[in-house]
A and B are shown apart, each in its own frame.
Chain A
Amino acid sequence: MAKEVTLTIDGKSVTVPAGTLVVDAAKRIGIDIPVFCYHPKMEPVGMCRMCLVEIGRPVIDRATGQVVLDESGKTKMQFGPKLETSCTTPVSEGMAVVTNSAKAVDGRREIIEFILTSHPLDCPICDKGGECPLQNLTMAHGPGESRFLIDEKMKLAKHVPLGELIILDRERCIQCARCVRFQSDIAGDPVIAFNHRGRALEIVTHSEPGFDSYFSGNTTDICPVGALTTADFRFGARPWEQKPAASLCSHCPVGCNMTYNVRREAASGGKLVIKRAMPRQNEQVNEIWMCDKGRFAYHYAESSERLSKPLVRKGGELVEVEWDEALNAAAEGLRGAGQVLALAGGRLPNEDLFALGKLGKPVLYTHHGGGDLVAQVGLGPDSNLGDLGKGSVILVIASDLHEEAPIWWLRLKAAAKRGAHLIVAGARPTRLEEYAAQVIRYRYGEEIAVLHPFLDGSDADFANAENVVIFYGNEGLDLAGSSALAQACAELLVQTNHTGRANNGLVGVWANANAQGAWELGFRPSADLAAELAEAGAVYIAAADPAGDDPALAAALDKARFVVVQELFLTETAARAAVVLPVQANLEREGTYVSGERRVQRFYPVIYPPEGTRPDFEIIAQVGALIDVPVEGRAVSLLFTKLAAELKPFNGLTYQALAQRVEQWPQVGRADLYYGGTSYDNKLGLGVQLPAAGWQGGAAEQSRIAAVPQLGEQEVWLVPVTRLYDNGQTVKHSKLLDQRRAVPTLSLHPDTAAKLGLEVGARVTVDDAALAVVLDATVPASVGLVPRSTGVPSSAPRAVKLHRVAETAR
């Protein structure tokens, strides 16, 4: 327990831990000291001088060390001759802070007047207007009139793109450095900086492409003025015209809480559309941050390519039909078909998975195994990556978290800064290694050996750790390999007794938002999906595109007897189906996801679904009714109640409990915009973490990691790697991200390339996909890295022969 300090602020007594800053102590008792540059998530700098207050300290007799009393017997206080910045001053015992004296009020008024000397008066067109801390604090503390001459205002550039995502208005910047500090201290991407000095100070980006950071959107949230705006929202709507709608990000297993701002739009014929996406505070999940993928990739829901009518194959062609006909056609095919394979992708919500599981054998479409073990020894209730610090060991293996789950990356980086012992094991360098206490480099195929020193206790940090969390990915591993890695990690945790407690456990870095939920619900990947698809009596696919990922699976689907697909878009898989049923995106309906940290969280409807679409669970129930398989299809809440009653980890959970919330600190995004961040207050639930099932002896099937075979002439070991901005169905429709999207490349070590006789820009073909060669000294020898979702089947690493494309053939 930290030492407590008692002080008085405006006559009110408050007791806070030692080291708390005066400004935070005041906020605890409801006194708002205005700030611009201070942000509770970042170290104070005292740049804006807005938080000036009078601070008095008790006079201490130097000889005796005792507090000096005045004539009346009260403690003698000594106030500083000048005002002090409350954001940089830690509390001390007996301190007296006065925030409302004439001197303090004067000080603040003058600072506002000074900040406004060169701030343009363009609130009417400013995107921050209406939710602007500068606007609010000027109204509350400003002089109302300036003594400075309006003609001497600086006239600066108003449209300075810092990259294509973030746009700077130089005039509006008040030089608080929140964005610069966020990028260097929190995001670890110091790609923007101050240039020049004094009034000429400006924010510049020095990366190529501009503002090259996965967290750049957060700077627009914490900017206390309208200097930084996103290209997505620019002039989109005024803040007061929009309605906030709570949701979850569906792009990665972190499960960031989000708020979408919606408004009716004339250009869309009066439809409700999403104007912007912003984080919603959940200190246990995403704090107040989110990555740019979550912020900008929501446009898929409004794509014109969305399916809105059911399709049925008639005479070889998919034809639009009415719902009744399509449902009957689906039921017709499923009836008496024998074994039905219910194949689901990891972005399907829990309730739909539960319903789908009733129709047939539940199979999860993934190449990343081990989720059953995460259900046994995963993180349990009260786990919070934000609590990991000294005494905790975090091991990240076979995963590039910066690309796969940026907010986990951010939080692990912060944990390492707090003193957690971060171990990063990878076959190639990743961004997280900069912050790691220990870096382990292995060769692809030798992942398990990495864990041996931890198991036999020869690693002192690991042996003495109070908490251990292991994040495992599937880079360079196939399904069996990642299952084996999960098994090894789980056994390590069990044998070192790091299970069944908060902040201890295994985390899978899945590709999808609800992959963990699918595992918890009993969905398991198939060891030989192609064979199962080809042999099943009927295949029912929801939210998965196996045919688009891998030609082998496409061929298997062609052989399948009867295929029903529920999809948003006409994917390769849907194009091979007998019946295609259009579904609603998660933005258009409610449901729950289980995050990688095993937190069950609710999402809510944000926009109206396109006419003709239905939610997955409803379709499944309607098909079920026709083939005499009773499935609840009336409401998500009813499904969740059934699911909670039937499945052990969910026992005792109620749909309502997921919406419960507790007071969170720091308080951001409230109506008073105190800290100025426009991150939203969480009013619709923090979610509940599932209890871990406990160790049951591991996976049913023993699997092992296949060693990299001897490579032949002109061959490389092709390893699929994840890039954040991929070409997935729910990402590729966002035009804004086009310039940063993963492109078909093959990254080779310069030596490997030289050996193969390839140079930068040379084009090679792998399985009919053309790849441009990129040289990267961090790639291991004889290995070629190819980004996922760029046309090369990426279910497993393999040896491939490279065929050079002749220059003339281009």
Chain B
Amino acid sequence: MLKGLFVTLKELIGKPVTVSYPEEKRPVRSRFKGRHTLKRYDNGLEKCIGCALCAAACPADAIFVESAENTDEERYSPGERYASTYEINFLRCIFCGFCEDACPTEAIVLGDTYELSYTDRATAIYPKELLLEPVPDGVETTPQQTPPGMFTRSVPEMKDPTD
């Protein structure tokens, strides 16, 4: 019994294992898979090209993508195609990360955010505006007007395809 009491006393004066969430938050692990973000290039263009391979890969059918054509006057992403609609239903999402694996442009990345709560089903569906990361400082947001012939490729050439 003394032995048991000793453990209690030791824990009483030692560092607590709990944290006082939400004031305090634990750092997530490096491979944690939280809420998705849609990434941008440094020039502000969206990486997402609206190919819908994430939606095809999704085992929970949580992603809905519609695409449209870019023009140089109104450019969202490099190349011809961009996602005009991009929605993820977080009630369906199982955070498996298959979308991230399927993405040919590394546009969708599962981030660290795990605080997802909704008051109704509709707000659980995140549209593109909520998923897109903010543009880097000093860069124009999309759609951008770009010089013709500059962004003709959708899929960037990977330096090392095995990566």
Partners in one complex: yes
Chain A residues in the interface with B (C-beta under 8 A)? 121-122, 124-125, 129, 150, 155, 158-159, 234-235, 237-238, 240-241, 265-267
Given A124-B104, A125-B79, A159-B80, residue A238 in contact with residue B56 (CB < 8 A):
yes
Q: How far is the CB of B28 from chain A (nearest CB, A)?
A: 30
User: In B8-57, which residues have CB < 8 Å from any A CB?
Assistant: 49-53, 55-56
Determine the distance from Cα of A238 to Cα of B63 in the docked complex, in whole angstroms. 14
Q: Which residues of A lie under 8 Å from residue B84 when comparing CB positions?
A: 267
Binds A, one of B89-97, B132-140, B152-160: B152-160
Q: Is B69 an interface residue (CB 8 A)?
A: yes
B154 near A125 (CB under 8 angstroms)?
yes
Interface string of B51-79 (1 = CB under 8 A from A): 11101100000001011110000000001
Counting residue pairs across A and B whose Cβ atoms lie within 8 Å, the total is 52
A125 near B66 (CB under 8 angstroms)?
no
Pick from A122, A241, A267 the residue with the most CB of B within 10 Å. A122
Determine the distance from Cα of A237 to Cα of B64 in the docked complex, in whole angstroms. 11
Q: Which residues of A lie under 8 Å from residue B105 when comparing CB positions?
A: 124
A125 near B85 (CB under 8 angstroms)?
no
Q: How far is the CB of A261 from chain B (nearest CB, A)?
A: 14
Contact of A241 among B55, B79, B104, B152 (CB under 8 A): B55
B81 near A235 (CB under 8 angstroms)?
yes
A237 near B80 (CB under 8 angstroms)?
no
Determine the distance from Cα of A122 to Cα of B81 in the docked complex, in whole angstroms. 11
Determine the distance from Cα of A362 to Cα of B81 in the docked complex, in whole angstroms. 53
A238 near B85 (CB under 8 angstroms)?
no
Contact of A124 among B51, B69, B87 (CB under 8 A): B51
A122 near B79 (CB under 8 angstroms)?
yes
A235 near B67 (CB under 8 angstroms)?
yes
Given A122-B79, A124-B49, A235-B81, residue A266 in contact with residue B152 (CB < 8 A):
no
Interface pairs (16), CB distance under 8 Å = A122-B153, A124-B53, A124-B104, A124-B154, A125-B49, A125-B50, A125-B79, A125-B155, A155-B152, A235-B50, A237-B52, A237-B66, A241-B52, A265-B66, A266-B85, A267-B84
Q: How far is the CB of B147 from chain A (nearest CB, A)?
A: 16
Closest Cβ neighbor of B157 among chain A residues: A150
Q: How far is the CB of A144 from chain B (nearest CB, A)?
A: 12
A267 near B154 (CB under 8 angstroms)?
no
Determine the distance from Cα of A232 to Cα of B105 in the docked complex, in whole angstroms. 26
Q: Which residues of A lie under 8 Å from residue B49 when comparing CB positions?
A: 124-125
B80 near A124 (CB under 8 angstroms)?
no
Q: Which residues of B lie under 8 Å from residue A150 when comparing CB positions?
A: 157
Q: How far is the CB of B146 from chain A (nearest CB, A)?
A: 14
B66 near A266 (CB under 8 angstroms)?
yes
Q: How far is the CB of B93 from chain A (nearest CB, A)?
A: 18
Q: Which residues of B lie under 8 Å from residue A124 when comparing CB positions?
A: 49, 51, 53, 104-105, 154-155
Contact of A235 among B80, B155, B157 (CB under 8 A): B80
A235 near B53 (CB under 8 angstroms)?
no
A235 near B68 (CB under 8 angstroms)?
yes
Q: How far is the CB of A178 from chain B (nearest CB, A)?
A: 23
Q: How far is the CB of A439 from chain B (nearest CB, A)?
A: 46
Q: Which residues of A lie under 8 Å from residue B66 when comparing CB positions?
A: 237, 265-267
Q: Which residues of A lie under 8 Å from residue B80 when comparing CB positions?
A: 125, 158-159, 235
Closest Cβ neighbor of A238 among chain B residues: B52
B155 near A121 (CB under 8 angstroms)?
yes
Q: Which residues of A lie under 8 Å from residue B56 when comparing CB positions?
A: 238, 240-241
Q: Which residues of A lie under 8 Å from residue B152 when comparing CB positions?
A: 155, 158
